Amino acid sequence: MKYALVGCGRVSHNHIIAAIRNGLEIVALCDLDAEKIDAEYSRYGDQIGDVAKYTDYKEMILKEKPELVGIATDSGSHAEIAVFCIEHGCNVIIEKPIALSLEDADRIISAAEANNVKVCNNLQNRFNDAVQLLRKAIDDGRFGRIYYGAAQLRWYRGDDYYRQAPWRGTWAKDGGALMNQSIHDIDLLCWMMGDYVSEVAGMTDRLAHECIEAEDFGIAVVRFKNGGYGVIEGTTDVNRNSEEETLSIFGEHGTVKLGGISGQIVEQWRFDDGLDDEEDIKKRYGADPEHIYGLGHISVYEDVIDAIKNDRQPYIDAYAGRRALELILSIYKAAAEGRTVKLPVEKCSTTDFTGRF
């Protein structure tokens, strides 16, 4: 299957490794900055052989006609690139967030339906081993009724991180700690709690990073349509020695807490059914991954290739990406307007909050 990648920055290694591991024929790499392409190619050239290099993604799509395209550019450009690829018949794996406005997410979804291609939003942590284990416990009904869940992302990002690229922390191209860093944890919370949110209240602020426009701190409470509740906390302000990402689920018959640097360690695994030994589970799921991005990209690619071959929806589709986006925009809206926001929200964009801090 012919594959091409747009965006050769920090996260591009994960896409190239996933493409290689899944036997894709990498035909082209694209970046506005030719040096970035060369830097990536110098790492993997011996494994991928000859590839064409482009600084214009449209030219690349028209000439190479890839069947699958990875989009790993700044978040503000995902929608424009995705819609062009989709309208030219390419299936796409779009980095998170799917887009920065609901209108753009809807454009992607409509274009995919009209052109009969697959769209995956790369919320790869759904494939993490501990996350899959938790999801199976939910699917097996081991929690009974689930009362509430909590997603807490407490990371450190210094000004040097934000200054790596001009798009970081801007309203037009990124958003802040909730949209960029916490989105994985927020997606997992929703996925575990039943996907659909009915209302949200929240507060956001920019506490520590004057070099960015968007929030570096956000807290929210969420009511799900099925009657459960969620608590969300996301920040890039904590001390660099105390970073953690947790996901906790509290039900009638069980409590699970995932933690560690990126929610991949089982810290509590307690069920009334006594089916497994907590200490054994904690031993088996007890290590942080080598890198916080984890290995999920490989599974995402494997799934999308299978979805294309078997004409089914990807495991993490565009609707999932839209739901995560809608929830985060709703938190922004609730915080900005000082009121509870009821979902669904039809129109909202990160740029609606320009000048907020």
Ligand X SMILES: NC(=O)c1ccc[n+]([C@@H]2O[C@H](COP(=O)([O-])OP(=O)(O)OC[C@H]3O[C@@H](n4cnc5c(N)ncnc54)[C@H](O)[C@@H]3O)[C@@H](O)[C@H]2O)c1
- Site residues for ligand X per CB under 6 A: 6-12, 30-33, 36, 57, 72-75, 77, 81, 95-96, 122, 124, 165, 180, 293
* Residues 99, 108: Cα–Cα separation, whole Å: 9
Compare residues 54 and 271 and give the one whose CB is closer to ligand X: 54
* Residues 5, 185: Cα–Cα separation, whole Å: 26
Q: Minimum distance from CB of 123 to ligand X (Å)?
A: 7
Please check whether residue 138 is in contact with residue 256, taking contact to mean a CB–CB distance below 8 angstroms: no
Q: Minimum distance from CB of 340 to ligand X (Å)?
A: 28
Compare residues 8 and 137 and give the one whose CB is closer to ligand X: 8
Compare residues 8 and 341 and give the one whose CB is closer to ligand X: 8
146: left (phi over 0), alpha (psi -120 to 50) or beta: beta
Q: Minimum distance from CB of 108 to ligand X (Å)?
A: 14
How far does CA 125 lie from the centroid of its chain? 8
Compare residues 143 and 155 and give the one whose CB is closer to ligand X: 155
Q: Minimum distance from CB of 206 to ligand X (Å)?
A: 19
* Residues 273, 251: Cα–Cα separation, whole Å: 13
- The partner residues of 237 in beta bridges, in order of sequence, read 156
Q: Which of 243, 218, 246 shows the shortest CA–CA distance to 233?
A: 218
Please check whether residue 96 is in contact with residue 121, taking contact to mean a CB–CB distance below 8 angstroms: yes
Compare residues 11 and 150 and give the one whose CB is closer to ligand X: 11
Q: Minimum distance from CB of 151 to ligand X (Å)?
A: 15
Give the DSSP per-residue string, 237-262: BS-TTS-EEEEEEEESSEEEEEETTT
Q: Minimum distance from CB of 245 to ligand X (Å)?
A: 12
Please check whether residue 119 is in contact with residue 318, taking contact to mean a CB–CB distance below 8 angstroms: yes
Q: Minimum distance from CB of 37 to ligand X (Å)?
A: 9
Compare residues 85 and 197 and give the one whose CB is closer to ligand X: 85
Compare residues 71 and 256 and give the one whose CB is closer to ligand X: 71
- The partner residues of 96 in beta bridges, in order of sequence, read none
Q: Where are the beta strands (DSSP E) in 143-195?
A: 146-154
Q: Minimum distance from CB of 276 to ligand X (Å)?
A: 29
* Residues 57, 63: Cα–Cα separation, whole Å: 10
Could you tell me the two tokens for 79? Answer: 């929608």
* Residues 41, 67: Cα–Cα separation, whole Å: 21
Q: Minimum distance from CB of 58 to ligand X (Å)?
A: 9
Compare residues 31 and 254 and give the one whose CB is closer to ligand X: 31
Which amino acid is it at 122?
Answer: N
Q: For the packed helices 102-115 and 318-337, what is the interaxial angle rounded to 10 degrees?
A: 170
Q: Would you call 23 helix, strand, or coil by DSSP?
A: coil
